A and B are shown apart, each in its own frame.
Chain A
Amino acid sequence: MYAFNYHKASSVADAAARLSAGVDAKLLAGGQTLIAALKMRLAAPSDLIDLGGIAEMRGVRTEGGKLVIGAMTTHAQVAASQDVRQSMPALAVLAASIGDRMVRNMGTLGGSVANADPAADYPAAVIGLGATIITNKRGIGADDFFKGMYETALQPGEIITQVAFPIPQKCGYAKFANPASRYAIVGVLVAQTGGGVRVGVTGAGPCAFRVPEMEKALVANFAPDAVASVKISHTSLNSDLHASAEYRAHLVAVMAKRAVAAALGQ
């Protein structure tokens, strides 16, 4: 790991000021991705700005039909939150399925969403639930947020402070996990809302995406069999040592079926 200057931010405003003051400053949330990147010298920031001491960035609250979750809320806290378990159990299931207990005790919602790993779990929830990413500058809609592999709409100096998830009528999450890391080979979150149905897929492509054909099928008939016949093209999907693009395309339908079943409590 190369040397860097360390700052513990006292507030979002303080973090933003330090972020723009550093030559090549980077935010540190739970560090569960960033520390590994520093160790491997894949990242060499001049300054690290630790968000760990900012109380306003933690916690879960219900506000006007939405669950608003602070960016620094850990995966373990999301999984254990009574509010989350009651109003969107799939999000609690998703958070509880990330990595292992020790990773969940440090890793955060904001860090995961900002990092936009193609195999990360939270992007499926952001897309599937139609969340809004709230930064120190603006709100970004889910459909505009993920731009590609590790690429988001965040601009330099922008800090995710909260993520607002509209509370659906029903939702379910199913993941085919890498047995070693628990990252998603394919993960699908399905949500039924007043405005229709959303299907968010992670793990399969360069970044999380929706499947409009499945959404249409589920509006007509919210049942596992409704998505089984939807064919997913593998042409733009990921292929790696864990799974081929064809296999991932197949898994999207299987996981979508299971997610609908989970949403129906089956």
Chain B
Amino acid sequence: MPVKLSMTVNGKPVSAEAEPRTLLVDFIRDQLRLTGTHIGCDTAQCGACTIHLNGNAVKSCNMLALQAQGATITTIEGITGPDGSLHPMQAAFRDHHGLQCGYCTPGMVMSAIDLVKRHPHPSEQTIRAELDGNLCRCTGYHGIVKAVEAGAKAMG
């Protein structure tokens, strides 16, 4: 039986009906039509679905939407400025070749912002360790690491 789900997504209260077995990522993509959050695997390994749940990065494919009942969620769509300008971390990914196909990028950017919150001046080693849960099949990661370094400075 569908149940009512309410949460705050990208600053706005939302409500919708969903089956209890609905994954948070499917709720975000199918019900809320926020398709920037990607699904890259079926095994909670790739991190393409990373969002912020009450300020912490989590994999939205590995939890039920109901586990986020009443929570505050930020997706990749929610980080741009009010005028639609890119978040400094997004701009850094563009400027430093942090992406090729772009499939992993929303998750990378959401993880990177969470990382900078805890490590405002991350070393290369810290960035590589902290992005452990985000896989990229294109870039070889060097551009991503450079982008996160630059994004951290810009977020300063």
Which positions in A face B, CB cutoff 8 Å?
A: 1-6, 8, 28, 31-32, 35-36, 38-39, 48, 50, 52, 76, 99-103, 105-106, 180-182
Contact = CB atoms under 8 A, between A and B. Distances in A.
Interface stretch (B64-72, B85-93, B142-150): B64-72
A48 B133 contact: no
Interface in B1-58: 3, 19-21, 23, 42-45, 47, 50, 53, 56-58
Contact of A102 (B20, B21, B57, B69): B57
The 4 A-B residue pairs whose C-beta atoms are closest, nearest first, are: A100-B133, A6-B20, A100-B132, A105-B56
**For the complex, would chain A's binding face be called helix, strand, loop or mixed by DSSP majority?**
mixed
Contacts of B56: 76, 105
Contact of B62 (A2, A31, A50): A31
A101 B130 contact: yes
A3 B42 CA distance: 18
B99 interface: no
B60 to A, nearest CB: 9
Interface residues of B, number: 29
Contacts of B66: 6, 8, 50
B62 A48 contact: no
A73 to B, nearest CB: 14
B64 A35 contact: yes
A102 B111 contact: yes
A180 B59 CA distance: 16
Given A102-B58, A106-B62, A182-B132, A5 B20 contact: yes
Contacts of A100: 47, 132-134
